[in-house]
Amino acid sequence: MYNPYAVGTHVYLRHPTLADAEGAWHEWLSDEETTRWLGLRHWPNSVERQREFYESCRRGEDRLVLSIVDIATDKHIGVCNLSGINWVHHYCDIAIIVGDVEYRKGSYVLEAFSLLLKIAFLRLNMRIVKSSFSSSNDASQAIHDVFRFKEVGRLPGLLWDRGRYVDNVIAMLERGDWMKRNGLAEEAKMLES
Amino acid sequence: MSRKVFEIVARIMVVPVDAVSLESSPETLENWDSLRHMKLILAIEESLDVQFSDDDIVSIKNVRDLLACVEARH
């Protein structure tokens, strides 16, 4: 493992490297299937644009971008981030992409998502993690359901998806609920008092 | 309990119950992709009235793991 920031059983998360930016990462963000659900990625990507993004990741404290790496092979398989981090109100947005199709089977995405939630709530002291996704994205709906995000609203017909407008679903997970479900009920009670 | 779990796995993975074993996993069942994996977790929680922790969820690699989590939480 190189410079691990959070370690799971099969994947670990680390700061992106220039090699990541110049590797498969930039191609994932040109792929039609991978970018189908991303709000701002409908233009072809390039190594140059990915390098710029990589440089921007090294600055500022309102966004944490992490590479997802397979422990067994040390292969960069995806990227995840906490963005819009608000250090006053302690909330942020969560997003994840497993770019390498070979790793979309099984639980790699669940493990990376779980590590990222743990970082948000326990290391960065976030109170709320929120998310928004297309109502036609079954995988996004399922992962938010699995981790007990609550749907808190919808922007009807906001997003264009292959010939039709679909809703933008807004969901959030509160730290207290997350802690209670993960054996930290006492700590959650102390935070509430 | 194991019979119920096998039936839910079979329903979500769209295979006969006889095709499900403790060793069934994404490697052995072609239909077991990441979306069905998540739907399986949700179906088990709802049908058997259990709630998994995040550690449980990421530990489930096959039916044996799933059954162990269910039995530990039931």
- Delineate the domains of chain B, giving CATH numbers in brackets: 2-73 (1.10.1200.10)
Catalogue the long-range contacts made by A42-51 (C-beta closer than 8 Å, 24 or more residues apart): A47/A21, A47/A22, A50/A21, A50/A22, A50/A25, A50/A26, A51/A18, A51/A21, A51/A22
What is the number of domains present in chain A?
A: 1
**Chain A with chain B: Cβ pairs closer than 8 A:** 60
Q: What is the mean pLDDT of residues A4-25?
A: 94
pLDDT confidence bin for A56, thresholds 50/70/90? confident
Q: What is the mean pLDDT of residues B25-51?
A: 93
Percent of chain A having pLDDT more than 70? 98
Domain that holds residue A134: 4-192
pLDDT confidence of residue A107: 82
Cβ pair A139:B34 closer than 8 A: yes
Cβ pair A147:B54 closer than 8 A: yes
pLDDT confidence bin for A40, thresholds 50/70/90? low
Q: Report pLDDT digits (tens) over A139-165.
A: 999 999 999 999 999 999 999 998 999
pLDDT confidence of residue A103: 87
Residue B1 pLDDT greater than 80, yes or no: no
pTM of this structure = 0.92
Contact B57, A143 (CB under 8 A): no
> Chain A residues with CB inside 8 Å of B55's CB?
114, 182
Q: Report pLDDT digits (tens) over A101-114.
A: 888 877 899 999 99
Q: Report pLDDT digits (tens) over A59-85.
A: 878 999 999 999 999 999 999 999 999
Instruction: Pick B61's closest partner by Cβ from A107, A118, A182.
Output: A107
Cβ pair A107:B58 closer than 8 A: yes
pLDDT confidence of residue A124: 97
Residue A169's nearest CA partner among A157, A151, A146 is A151
Domain with residue A94: its CATH number is 3.40.630.30
Distance from the Cα of residue A30 to its chain's centroid:
18
> Chain A residues with CB inside 8 Å of B58's CB?
8-9, 107, 110-111, 114
Nearest-neighbour CA in chain B from A4: distance (Å):
19
